[in-house]
């Protein structure tokens, strides 16, 4: 069992070059805080051009197309928008809520992708202060990022993972 994501950290120009050469087109990422969650600080840090502490968000990369849908996005709307934009990755930011509501919400999103028969088309990634990679895998996501994750770490991981998937034909 992998307890944390261990991906070599790459510089932004290395990431752009890698995606261009090995993936052949920009990676489309759709992100939101889902359900009743209204905490967008983490999501904004990863996606928005400004990024966090001098580390630019995905919008700054030439080989990412990042769409930030904001807060309190219902799972159905998030999935519909991801499909409309032909997303490669759905990034959900989830701050822990009472009565494990975040786990129900994440599981529900996975269930929706399976019901629509699109689960294998999307890489599902979740981040938040109480999220771990192990927890993400447990609820059916491909990856989970916890507190202190930088935009560059996410950019490096997504690039390398999407290329690995393309090369393996999955």
Instruction: Identify the burial level of 103 via C-beta atoms within 10 angstroms of its C-beta, where 0-12 means exposed, 13-18 middle and 19 or more buried.
Output: middle
What pLDDT was estimated at residue 169? Answer: 83
What pLDDT was estimated at residue 38? Answer: 83
Nearest C-alpha neighbor of 62 from the set 22, 10, 14, 30: 14
**Antiparallel, parallel or unpaired: β 64-68 and 89-93:** unpaired
What pLDDT was estimated at residue 3? Answer: 58
50 carries an active-site annotation: yes
Residues of the chain short of pLDDT 70, as ranges, are 1-4, 96-97, 170
Spatial separation of the C-alpha atoms in residues 72 and 37, rounded to whole Å: 5
The tokens for 11 are 């510089």
What pLDDT was estimated at residue 130? Answer: 86
What pLDDT was estimated at residue 108? Answer: 95
Spatial separation of the C-alpha atoms in residues 123 and 48, rounded to whole Å: 20
pTM above 0.75, yes or no: yes
Which one of the listed residues 50, 86, 99, 137 is annotated catalytic?
A: 50
């Amino acid at each position: 069992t992998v307890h944390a994501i261990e991906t070599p950290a790459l510089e932004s120009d290395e990431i752009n070059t890698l995606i261009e050469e090995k993936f052949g087109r920009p990676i489309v990422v759709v992100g939101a805080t889902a359900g009743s969650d209204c905490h967008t600080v983490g999501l904004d840090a990863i996606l928005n051009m400004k990024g966090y502490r001098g580390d630019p968000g995905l919008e700054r990369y030439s080989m990412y197309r990042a769409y930030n849908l904001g807060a309190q996005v219902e799972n159905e709307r998030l999935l519909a928008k991801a499909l409309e934009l032909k997303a490669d990755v759905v990034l959900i930011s989830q701050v822990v809520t009472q009565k494990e509501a975040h786990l129900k919400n994440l599981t529900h999103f996975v269930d929706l992708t399976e019901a629509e028969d699109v689960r294998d088309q999307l890489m599902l990634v979740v981040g938040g202060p109480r999220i771990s990679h192990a927890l993400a895998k447990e609820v059916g996501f491909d990856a989970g990022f916890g507190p202190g994750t930088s935009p560059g770490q996410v950019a490096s991981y997504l690039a390398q993972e999407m290329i690995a998937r393309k090369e393996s034909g999955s």
